[in-house]
């Protein structure tokens, strides 16, 4: 409060400050949308005759200690956690003014490579039937596949970023190329064979609710990084006005490479969690995850023109994504309706955002 | 300390075969406001771009604050104390006022390289101080630049100079895109800089504004300086004659 009085004491002198233009955070709108969607599902559950009064959100059969249907909430958040981790990186890339189409393929390639370094020697007393390397690669400490995976993700991101920053390739093209290349790497790695049977330590990374733990921890970390560090400020600045950022002395090329590298590492970490959760890696893993991750960010209010958005928004966007998936299952509607609705919601989110921007601009 | 804050000798810039700037000898005293005038393509902006090292000169010497300088880029020039308000506003629309003022030179609480923690409070205080010094009035510092009028944006750009205690301010047509009221506001800020003895180079096409605000007018034509006129010894007609080439200053007889 003290701050705002101090500012207004500077006076306006003809350039009026409209109170109505006070910043109502966009995240609040998205959160309201999330609540609205939950309410709609809850209402449909009560209204549709075949639902027998089942509740979407609440524990109606006294299965849990709380009033909520914990099982459903857990599934919702578990479903979105892994793609959510990718979305944390994609959010930064989009705020920067770029796009990353390669993250889903990076998940596939990283999962294959990581799992090869995480295999256990004996499966139920028999030799591992899916062994990729020889004796030396069995039962390695869990840090080895972790580092290998993150380095691979960083390497892919470094290539993406370098082509974009130093060769001036449009992000769409550079990452579209990587989208194909990384999927190729995934298939080439074992000539299409799945890689399975990780060590217990590795499996722990994806066990139970661990994916959610990673997602939440990383979301908090990158929220703080974007909000309170020079890295975050420059990411917004470049996405907002690249020329201004350049004239202000920001090393734009280096910064772009850094953002894509971090996005690559987050995609790789998602691959680690996913393969640890599934206890196997397959060449098709992570397909269309890149688009889901972009969708989460966009639903969460991240502007595709760059400069606007936040990690909090993306996390809420991910929750909306999960609620819709879970809600359609709850209403026993087939998956194709779900896809149709998701498509509509993504476009609708952008339309709403643009309408909001225009309204803000016309007030200015 | 010399009385001259900026001096250029034989400053020249060729773009391939185009001689955009040819042998510019220029001096600016401390506490002096000088306007640079001239037709489009006369070399005004080129001249400024050499001083601020946005471009590298073909030849010539720049002496700033008593020392010969060879800035490799605009950041070095700015760090040395030359602050430029560009014709195209160099502001990030989605950031607020302190963020924009400190863009590229953020105050840091802890230095962790790119992940250094921002000192929001410090930047805000310095911004308020800078705005006070320039008498720039901005109602809400936390408002994104996107929601501000053209005049307010220009004021933010100008407030940079005051916030960083620069030694020389260069403004490239600061009011070209502004309305009457906003122009008056920017001009007030410029007068304020004058009172505080901050040297200024002002590029402007606005004759009334120039005669109102500066001590001296330097006219460029076809890449050369053709006149150096004290405001109280000349008039608009005279300046126009130099700009259009009807007249050339005696000491520059060979130039045109």
Give Cβ neighbours of residue A146 (< 8 Å, ≥ 6 apart).
A114, A205, A272
- Does A143 contact chain B (CB < 8 Å)? no
pLDDT tier, B256 (very low <50, low <70, confident <90, very high otherwise):
very low
* Residue A196 located in a structural domain: yes
H, E, C per residue of chain B: CCCEEEEEEEEEEEECCEEEEEEEEEEEECCCEEEEEECCCCCHHHHHHHHCCCCCCCEEEEEECCEECCCCCHHHHHHHCEEEECCCCCCCCCCCHHHHHCCCCCCEEECECECCEECHHHHHHHHHHHHHHHCCCCCCCCCCHHHCCHHHHHHHHHHHHHHCCCCEEEEECCCCCCCHHHHHHHHHHHHHHHHCCCCEEEECCCHHHHHHHCCEEEEEECCEEEEEEEHHHCCHHHHHHHHHCCCCCHHHCCCC
Substitution target in A4, A248, A310, A313 with the highest count of B β-carbons within 10 Å is A248
Q: Which residue has the higher pLDDT, B241 or A150?
A: A150
Predicted confidence band at A20 (pLDDT cuts at 50, 70, 90)?
very low
List the single range of A14-28, A206-220, A322-336, A337-351 with lowest mean pLDDT. Answer: A14-28
- Looking from the CA of B20 toward its CB, the CA atoms found within 13 Å total 19
Q: For residue B148, give how far its alpha carbon lies from the nearest alpha carbon of chain A (Å).
A: 6
- What whole-number distance in Å separates Cα of residue A269 and Cα of residue A114? 10
Q: Does residue A135 carry a pLDDT above 90?
A: no
pLDDT at A345: 85
Return the DSSP state at A128: P
Of A22, A230, A248, the CB nearest to B114: A230
Mutate: best of A2, A92, A242, A244, partner B, most B CBs <10 A: A244
Taking CB atoms and an 8 Å limit, are B137 and A11 in contact across chains?
A: yes
Residue A249 pLDDT level (bands cut at 50, 70, 90): confident
Look at residues B155, B139, B150, B146 and name the one whose alpha carbon lies nearest to residue A360. B146
Q: What is the pLDDT of residue A123?
A: 82
SS3 state of residue A269:
helix
Q: What pLDDT was estimated at residue B180?
A: 84
**Arithmetic mean of pLDDT, A22-26:** 69
Pairing of strands B224-230, A280-281: unpaired
- The pLDDT score that the predictor gives to residue B245 is 85
What is d(CA B132, CA A169) in angstroms, rounded to the nearest whole number?
A: 44
* C-alpha to C-alpha distance for A159 and A177, rounded to whole angstroms: 11
Helix axes A311-330, A26-47, angle to 10 degrees: 10
Residue B163 has pLDDT above 80, yes or no: no
A11 has a pLDDT exceeding 50: no
Is residue A40 a part of any domain in this protein?
Answer: no
Residues whose CB is less than 8 angstroms from the CB of residue A357 and which lie 6 or more positions away in sequence, other chains included: A303
Chain B contact for A256, CB < 8 A? no
Quick check: A64 pLDDT over 80? no
The nearest alpha carbon in chain A to B155 belongs to A15
CB atoms near residue A131 (< 10 Å): 18
> Is the overall model pTM greater than 0.90, yes or no?
no
What are the residue boundaries of the structural domains of chain B, listed by start?
Answer: 4-252
- Give me the residue from A17, A308, A360 closest to B140, CB to CB: A17
Structure-model confidence comparison of residues B199 and B246, the more confident one: B199
- Enumerate the residues of chain B whose CB falls inside 8 A of the CB of residue A7: 128, 139-142
**Residue range A78-98: mean pLDDT, rounded:** 96
For the CA atoms of chain A, what is the radius of gyration?
A: 23
Highest mean pLDDT among A285-294, A332-341, B95-104 belongs to A285-294
Structural domain contains residue A35: no
3-state secondary structure of A136: helix
A-interface mutation test, from B86, B95, B98, B103, most A Cβ less than 10 A away: B103
Q: Are B11 and B23 in contact (CB under 8 A)?
A: yes
Beta carbons of B99 and A237 less than 8 Å apart: yes
Average pLDDT over residues A62-75: 80
Tell me which of A126 and B135 has the higher pLDDT.
A126
User: Nearest Cα to B221, choosing from B37, B60, B52, B50?
Assistant: B37
Task: Give percent above pLDDT 90 in chain B.
Answer: 30
Query: Does the ipTM surpass 0.90?
Result: no
The mean pLDDT value of chain B amounts to: 86
Residue A298 sits in a domain of what CATH number?
1.10.3470
> Would the pLDDT of A51 be above 70?
yes
Report the pLDDT value the prediction gives residue B88, as an integer from 0 to 100: 64
Does residue A32 form part of some domain?
no
- Alpha-carbon distance of A148 to A154, in angstroms, equals 10
CA A124/CA A279 separation, integer angstroms: 15
Q: Is a pLDDT exceeding 80 seen at residue A170?
A: yes
Report the distance separating Cα A360 and Cα A45, nearest Å. 37
Q: Does A12 touch chain B (CB under 8 A)?
A: yes
| pLDDT in the model for residue A238 | 96
Residue of A nearest to B106 (CA): A230
Computed over every residue of chain A, the mean pLDDT equals 88
Confidence of residue A239 (pLDDT cuts 50, 70, 90): very high
User: pLDDT-derived band of residue A277, with 50, 70 and 90 as boundaries?
Assistant: very high
Q: Which residues pair with A68 in a beta bridge?
A: A58
Q: What is the pLDDT of residue A281?
A: 95
Quote the CA–CA distance of A5 and A10 in Å, as a whole number: 9
Say if residues A268 and A150 touch (Cβ distance below 8 Å): yes
3-state secondary structure of A124: coil
Q: Is the pLDDT of residue A95 over 90?
A: yes
Confidence band, pLDDT 50/70/90 cuts, at residue A339:
confident
Q: Nearest-5° angle of CA A203, CA A207, CA A208?
A: 170
For residue A192, what are the domain limits?
68-358
Min CA distance, B44 vs chain A (Å)?
19
A21 and B CB contact within 8 Å: yes
- For residue A153, which of A129, A182, A189 has the smallest C-alpha distance? A182
Total domains in the fold of chain A? 1
**A237 closest CB neighbour out of B103, B137, B139:** B103
Q: Is the pLDDT higher at A1 or at A44?
A: A44
- Predicted pLDDT of residue B162: 65
| Residue A3 located in a structural domain | no
Evaluate if residue B10 carries a pLDDT over 70.
yes
Cβ proximity of A219 and A84 under 8 Å: yes
Domain boundaries B4-252, corresponding CATH code: 3.40.50.300
């Amino acid at each position: 409060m003290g701050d705002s009085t101090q500012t207004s004491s500077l006076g306006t002198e003809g350039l009026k400050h409209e109170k109505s233009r006070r910043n109502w955070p966009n995240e609040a709108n998205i959160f309201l949308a999330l609540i609205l969607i939950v309410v709609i599902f809850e209402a449909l559950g009560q209204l549709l005759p075949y639902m027998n009064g089942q509740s979407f959100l609440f524990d109606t059969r006294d299965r849990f200690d709380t009033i909520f249907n914990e099982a459903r909430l857990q599934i919702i958040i578990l479903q979105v956690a892994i793609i959510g981790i990718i979305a944390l990186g994609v959010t930064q890339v989009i705020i920067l003014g770029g796009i990353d189409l390669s993250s889903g393929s990076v998940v596939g390639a990283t999962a294959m490579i990581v799992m090869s370094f995480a295999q256990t020697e004996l499966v139920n007393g028999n030799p591992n039937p899916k062994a990729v390397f020889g004796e030396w690669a069995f039962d390695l400490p869990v840090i080895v596949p972790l580092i290998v995976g993150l380095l691979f993700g960083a390497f892919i991101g470094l290539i993406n970023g370098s082509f974009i920053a130093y060769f001036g390739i449009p992000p769409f093209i550079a990452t579209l190329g990587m989208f194909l290349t990384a999927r190729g790497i995934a298939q080439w790695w074992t000539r299409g064979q799945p890689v399975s049977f990780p060590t217990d330590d590795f499996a722990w990374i994806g066990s139970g609710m661990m994916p959610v733990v990673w997602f939440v921890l990383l979301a908090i970390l990158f929220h703080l990084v974007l909000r309170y560090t020079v890295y975050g400020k420059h990411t917004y600045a470049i996405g907002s006005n690249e020329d201004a950022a350049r004239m202000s002395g920001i090393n734009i090329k280096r910064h772009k490479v850094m953002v894509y590298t971090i996005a690559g590492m987050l995609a790789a970490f998602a691959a680690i969690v996913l393969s640890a959760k599934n206890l196997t890696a397959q060449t098709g893993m992570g397909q269309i995850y890149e688009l889901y991750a972009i969708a989460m960010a966009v639903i969460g209010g991240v502007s595709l023109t760059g400069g606007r958005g936040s990690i909090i928004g993306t996390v809420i966007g991910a929750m909306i994504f999960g609620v819709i998936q879970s809600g359609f299952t709850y209403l026993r509607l087939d998956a194709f309706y779900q896809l149709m609705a998701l498509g509509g919601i993504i476009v609708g989110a952008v339309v709403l955002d643009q309408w909001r921007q225009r309204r803000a601009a016309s007030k200015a | 300390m010399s009385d001259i804050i900026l001096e250029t000798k034989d400053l020249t810039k060729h773009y391939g075969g185009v001689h955009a700037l040819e042998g510019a000898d220029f001096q600016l005293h401390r506490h002096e406001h000088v306007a640079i005038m001239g037709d489009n393509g006369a070399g005004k902006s080129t001249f400024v771009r050499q001083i601020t090292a946005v471009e590298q000169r073909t030849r010539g010497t720049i002496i700033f604050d008593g020392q010969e300088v060879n800035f490799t880029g605009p950041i070095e020039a700015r760090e040395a104390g030359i602050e430029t308000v560009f014709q195209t506003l160099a502001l990030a629309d989605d950031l607020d006022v302190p963020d924009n003022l400190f863009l590229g030179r953020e105050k840091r609480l802890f230095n962790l390289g790119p992940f250094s923690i921002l000192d929001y409070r410090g930047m805000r205080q310095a911004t308020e101080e800078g705005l006070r010094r320039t008498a720039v009035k901005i109602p809400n510092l936390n408002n994104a630049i996107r929601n501000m009028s053209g005049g307010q944006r220009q004021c933010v750009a100008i407030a940079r100079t005051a916030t960083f205690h620069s030694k020389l301010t260069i403004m490239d047509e600061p009011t070209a895109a502004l309305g009457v009221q906003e122009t008056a506001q920017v001009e007030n800020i410029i007068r304020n800089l004058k009172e505080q003895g901050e040297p200024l180079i002002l590029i402007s096409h606005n004759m009334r504004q120039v005669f109102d605000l500066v001590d001296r007018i330097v006219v460029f034509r076809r890449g050369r300086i053709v006149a150096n006129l004290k405001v109280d010894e000349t008039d608009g007609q005279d300046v126009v004659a130099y700009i259009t080439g009807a007249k050339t200053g005696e000491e520059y007889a060979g130039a045109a």
